[in-house]
Structure 1
Amino acid sequence: MKKENSSDASVALIVGITGLAGFSLAEALQKPTTPGRPWKVYGIARRPLPIWFPAFLVDGFISLDALDCADTANKLSPVAHEITHVFWVSMQHHGNEEVNISMNSTMLANVLNALKSTAPSRLRHVTLLTGTKHYMGPIFDPSLRGQLVHQEPPFKEDLGRLPYPNFYYALEDLVASYLPSITHSVHRSSIIIGASSRSLNNTLLTLSVYATICRYQGLPFRYPGNKYTWEHFCDVSDARMLAEQQIWAAVTEGAKNQAFNCTNGDVFTWKSLWGVLCEVFDVEFVAFEENEEKFDWLGMIKGKGKVWDEIVEKFGLFETKMEDITCFEALNVGLHFGFQHVCSMNKSRESGFLGFADTLKSIPMWVGRLRDMKIIP
């Protein structure tokens, strides 16, 4: 049974609830073992809830455009006086990082201002989801490609900021500006692995679509990255563990006003992960060949939108367009790194959060969830 609205009730507002991180947060907040429970949960997204999202996970859903100050204030006004915790897992991605800074800062400021302007405001903590571009710079900004110098891995939270524009830095500064009336925690994820049709840079769904098309058309499931990433270590963030860490930080005094990396705590090679994907999607494992003619992955997949339409229709899937649920260009960047993309989890462990996930076991589990949700066959 949930708490009635009272001075000590925990009331969450998940901004970006239909994405990878938001969906897992909504599920985690309903668990009987979750710290701070019972939680009342409101969710925000720009579009209505998709049919695969269980409505019982939220006490109220609000569709709004956080870039619109008036729309945000009007839509949040009925619940603003209840909210105690904001879980910010929403972000906009554009090619130019200065545009990212402007748009993401505007969205966050509009939401926080709408909640703080309520009298009295109960808002006491903001959890902010960012990522490892904190340590690498704006790797998707074409104007800076080839100029960026990343921090040395493993990435640690006390490494200084890089001298490039970065909307993660802007959002951190924004939440810090509300001290001491509102505390915050920052969660720097790696590649997030979860289930949603509504997330930007959805690596697992991108790979799932690629593998499904290869199987459907009898094409080889070839690794599109370079030899370095095939052989060297990488890490990811299971959306379940990311949710656990965010909730832990929201209710733990020693985690307030701190930044934490959040990865599964293990590492893998893309070679080993490729083997798991081949098993899950029943495609033949094709070893990476350094000397073979360069594989134009992006060129090959670019014309497969109609093939995906056929697959969606044939298997009765949740209706999607390939270009809306995949991130081939972004994934291509990550598969051509010349360094090991790994983070240290020591600060998190030393602070008391001991969550972990086995990456090679979580992959088939999340693929199963995507199938249950009828997003992939």
Structure 2
Amino acid sequence: MKHALVVGSTGVIGGAIARRLARAGDWRVTCATRGGSAPAGAQGLAVDLLDPASVRSAAAALAPVTHVFYAAYQHRPTRTEEVAPNLAMLRHAIDLGEAQPGALQRFVLVTGGKYYGLQWGAIKTPARETDPRHLGPNFYYAQQDHLAERAAAAGWTWSHLIPPYVTGFSERAPMNLVMAIGVLATLSREQGLPLRFPGPAASWNALHHLADADQIAAAAAWCATGATAANEIFNIANGDPGRWRNSWPVVAGHFDLATGEPMPVPLTQVAAELAPLWRRIAEREDLRQPDLHALVDWQWADYMFKTAFSNDVLFELGKIRRAGFGGCLDSEAALLGRFEELRQQRLIPRSR
């Protein structure tokens, strides 16, 4: 049986990968987290990937690993400060994969649109895997280079997936687009207001790709064993691009709300103002999280709606399709499914 070590399983992408592999039936799944937690069907491994002693201890207790799936991230105040810890975690994840010599077959790395420079502003579209890099700092470059060097030296292979904006579920990931929209819709309905898009006209009109976590997990599982995926970088997204001006009315309708003209309100101030209202809603509806600021990082949400979505973000998807992965999701249907997931988890109220 293949043995997967999933790093970042408390996040949106890593959690989706761990759950998919655990359901598959032909994988043994171990999730490396600081607390040793794991979803159903997987086992946990308590390890701090920034602590070499913790990594050595975990490696001694780890059964031979055939595949590593890496979707972890450490936030730091600046892009320069992000490089060292995120490279260290990847390096230590490789150490865990190589703990039993000769067992590791493939390492699947999942990064994101910052590989193309989204964090700096507008990028070339469509973004292709062969596009030249931009000037650093960019910790994704450091990770990719280290990964390729280690693989070449040891004889195993790697795959690298690059999704754009991600939708999915994780209670421990407050940088979560689906959660932010679900909360805004709940607060709007409570006050009898239309659901307004909280960004400027540029974000309302720009073309963008979305990648649902389940789509990324399917691609990661394919990468792990596909011969054509060895030592390759692939873009991954749901399918066709969309615009919020087209998708937003669909989202509003799902919550039985009208839509209004876009209004780029400061979400950090909105959250501060409406935190008491959310607490009352949570108590009345028996929701699991009454703290509005624990659900969503509102500064991040402000950045997403006002800045990140303000330029076209289109990824070339031909390479992964030609290589053999043909998965495709309808982004609007995936979004609506995620809202239902939040309802089932009692994080937003059930529909009335």
TM-score, normalising length from structure 1?
A: 0.85
Q: Deviations over 1:216-250 (max 9, x none)?
A: 23344221111122123111101111011111111
Quote how far apart the aligned CAs of 1:100 are: 0.9
**Separation (CA, whole Å) in 2 of partners of 1:72 and 1:314:** 45
Residue in 2 that maps onto 1:107: 89
Q: Answer whether contact 1:89 1:129 (CA < 8 A) is retained.
A: yes
Asked if 1 retains the 8 angstrom alpha-carbon contact of 2:122 and 2:311, the reply is no
Matches within 5 A, 1:188-227: 188-227=162-201
2:222 equivalent to 1:248: yes
- 1:29 corresponds to 2:21: yes
The residue that corresponds to 1:89 in the other structure is 71
The C-alpha deviation readout for 1:271-321, integer Å capped at 9, x for no partner, is: 1221122122222211337xxxx6333322233333333333322222363
Alignment check: 8 A CA contact 2:267 2:299 kept: no
**Deviation per residue, 1:42-69 (Å, 9 max, x gap):** 11223464xxx7x4331x1123321111
Aligned residue among 189, 206, 213 for 1:239: 213
In structure 1, what is the equivalent of residue 149 of structure 2? 177
Q: Does 1:314 align with 2:284?
A: yes
Q: Matches of residues 1-377 of structure 1 in structure 2 within 5 Å?
A: 9-32=1-24, 38-47=26-35, 49=37, 55-58=39-42, 60-79=43-62, 81-116=63-98, 118-137=99-118, 139=119, 148=120, 150-180=122-152, 181-288=155-262, 295-319=265-289, 321-336=291-306, 337-377=309-349
| Comparing 365-374 and 234-243, the one that deviates more | 365-374
Query: Structure 1 residues 296, 31: closer, same or farther in 2, change over 3 A?
Result: closer
Given that 2:212 and 2:334 are in contact with CA atoms closer than 8 Å, whether structure 1 keeps it comes out as yes
Matching residue of 1:3 = none
User: What is the deviation of 1:200?
Assistant: 4.8
1:128-172, Cα deviation, whole Å (9 max, x unpaired): 1111111125x2xxxxxxxx4643111111101101201111111
**CA RMSD between the two structures:** 2.1
One-letter amino acid of the counterpart of residue 212, structure 1: T
How far apart in 1 are the matches of 2:32 and 2:294? 20
The match for 1:142 is: none
- Matched to 1:18, the amino acid is T
Tell me the CA shift for residue 211 of structure 1.
Answer: 1.5
Greater Cα offset, 359-368 or 314-323: 314-323
CA distance, structure 2, for counterparts of residue 334 and residue 249 of structure 1 = 29
Relative distance call for 1:213 and 1:232 in structure 2 (3 A) is same
Verify the 8 A CA contact 2:180 2:296 in the aligned structure 1.
yes
Deviations 1:321-373 (A, max 9, x none): 33233133333333334421111101111111111100011111111112112
Q: Is the 8 A contact 1:185 1:250 kept in 2?
A: yes
Q: Distance in 1 between matches of 2:229 and 2:48?
A: 30
Q: Say if 2:159 and 2:229, in contact at 8 Å, map to a contact too.
A: yes
One-letter amino acid of the counterpart of residue 203, structure 2: T
- How many angstroms apart in 1 are the aligned matches of 2:284 and 2:49? 37
Number of aligned pairs?
A: 345
Displacement of 1:30: 3.5
**How far apart, CA to CA, are the structure 1 residues paired with 2:150 and 2:295?**
35
- What TM-score comes out, normalization by structure 2 length? 0.91
Shift of 1:119: 4.0
Change (3 A) 1:318 1:48: farther
Contact 1:73/1:110 (<8 A) preserved: no
- Looking at structure 2, the residues matched to 314 and 41 of structure 1 have their Cα atoms a distance apart, in angstroms, of 39
Q: 1:321 to 1:123 in 2, by over 3 A?
A: farther
Structure with the largest fraction of helix: 2
Q: One-letter code of the match for 1:39?
A: W
Query: Unmatched 5+ residue regions in structure 1?
Result: 1-8, 140-147
